[in-house]
Amino acid sequence: MATGAAPAAAVAVEYLVGAINRVGAEDLGGDDFSGTSHFVGPADRSVGEVASDKETERVVRAPDPAEPREVRDRRRFHRARAPGAYAPLTAP
C-alpha cells in the first residue's frame, strides 16, 4: 500500500500520481536520503511495486488508462454536480 501524500493527491485529482524520492547518500557531507518512489492510481492503489528505499533504480509503471474513468463513474458526488447552479454566484 502506498504511503504519504501521494494516495490523497491521486484520489483528489482522480488520476495517476508519482511520488519520486531520492535514496542513498550524498557524496558531499554524508547526508542520507530516505523514502521510496511509487505511483498511485485514483482508486488509492499502488501501480506496480514500490521502489527500493536503499538502492537507486528506474521506476517505470504501466497504469490502467481506463481506471480514472471507472473511478469517476463509481463516485456519487461527481454524478450530482450542477455547475450551472453556481452561475449566479460567479456572475459579475
pLDDT in tens, 40-74: 888 888 888 888 888 888 888 888 888 888 888 88
Domains of the chain by residue range:
6-79
Task: Note the pLDDT of residue 1.
Answer: 47
How does pLDDT run across 70-88, given as a tens digit for each residue? 888 887 766 667 778 888 8
HEC string of the chain equals CCCCCHHHHHHHHCCCEEECCCCEECCCCCCEECCCCEEECCCCCECCCCCCCCCCCCCCCCCCCCHHHHHHHHCHHHHCCCHHHHHHHHCC
pLDDT of residue 56: 81
Q: What's the pLDDT tens digit per position in 4-30?
A: 777 778 877 777 888 888 777 777 766
Residue 45, φ and ψ in degrees, nearest 5? -125, 145
Q: What is the pTM of this model?
A: 0.62
